[in-house]
Chains A and B, each alone.
Chain A
Amino acid sequence: MTKKQFLTKLNTSLKGLSSDDREDILQDFEEHFTIGLEEGKTEEQISASLGSPQQIAKELVATHRVEKVNETSTAGNIFRAVWAVIGLGFFNLVIVLGPFIALTGLIAAGWAVGISFVAAPLLVLINVALHPQIFELFDLFVSIALAGLGLFIAIGMFFATRAVKNGFVRYLKYNLSVVKGGVKHA
């Protein structure tokens, strides 16, 4: 690969990064080529030792995505970060996607329980409207108690969701520094 091909490939693989970031990154590699050429290496040699521009870009994009979650953590941002980290290598499919699915499942289940408890009195009222002959005061009291419990669960889930999200972002960051990506087998 010539320098130009290398930089072009790198640039096109850096989709999603701001143009400032891209320019900065390309500048670093430009500098690397310049010094290498001064030392008498050819463009081909330099790009061969640098490795795949796509793999380098993947790593830069993954770091960028994880950082974005740190700034604003919308569901979309979290999914993009998880996806980018998984893209770094097959190994990550297991150690990132597994915990992610498990945690998302737990959180979703917690919210489902909380919300359905809160909605319990409403369900009792619907039931009464549909079958007025089987109304029991007991049902209403139990459902109101459940609703109270549900509120507590929902409040708890709010904090749990935040804690799990922060923990998971830290886990992603840790993966970026340890897990496969761009390093050759010896």
Chain B
Amino acid sequence: MNVQFKKGVLELCVLVLLDKQDRYGYELVQKISEQIHISEGSVYPLLRRLTKDGHFTTYLKESTEGPPRKYYKLTDNGRVYLHDLLKEWKEFANGVNQLIEEGVNDD
């Protein structure tokens, strides 16, 4: 898929994953790369940017297996942003699907 396109979607994926629960970086990266082919390292700059923009806060939490992990938590601000993006995405996806269906029917 188009590279420019994917990067914008990555932002939406991260926000969606944090909507229901807080997660640590590695977990987010794994969840996304199970579904989409990405350079895993590019998630971290994204997390940092969204944190600086006030969409996430972070905290450290002990883990049973090793050193503490940095968790990301969606802020109210971030939730509003998520819903805006989600709305845009749905409209966009519906539009494209509509066109695809019409195209297929014509054949």
Residues of A within 8 A of B (CB): 25, 27-29, 31-32, 34-36, 38, 49-53, 55-56, 59-60, 63, 67, 91, 176-186
Contacts and interface: CB of A to CB of B under 8 A. Distances in A.
Interface residues of B, number: 31
Contact of B40 (A31, A50, A59, A186): A50
B98 interface: no
Nearest to B65: A38
B20 interface: no
B39 A50 contact: yes
A178 B25 contact: no
Nearest to A35: B26
A142 B36 CA distance: 68
A182 B1 contact: no
Contacts of A56: 39, 41-42, 44-45
Contacts of B49: 63, 176-177
Interface in B24-62: 24-26, 29, 33, 36-42, 44-45, 47-49, 52
The B contact surface, by secondary structure, is helix
The A contact surface, by secondary structure, is helix
Contacts of B39: 49-52, 55-56, 182-184
Contacts of B26: 31-32, 35-36
Contact of A180 (B3, B25, B33, B41): B3
Contact of B44 (A25, A38, A177): A25
A11 to B, nearest CB: 14
A31 B70 contact: yes
A62 B41 CA distance: 15
B87 interface: no
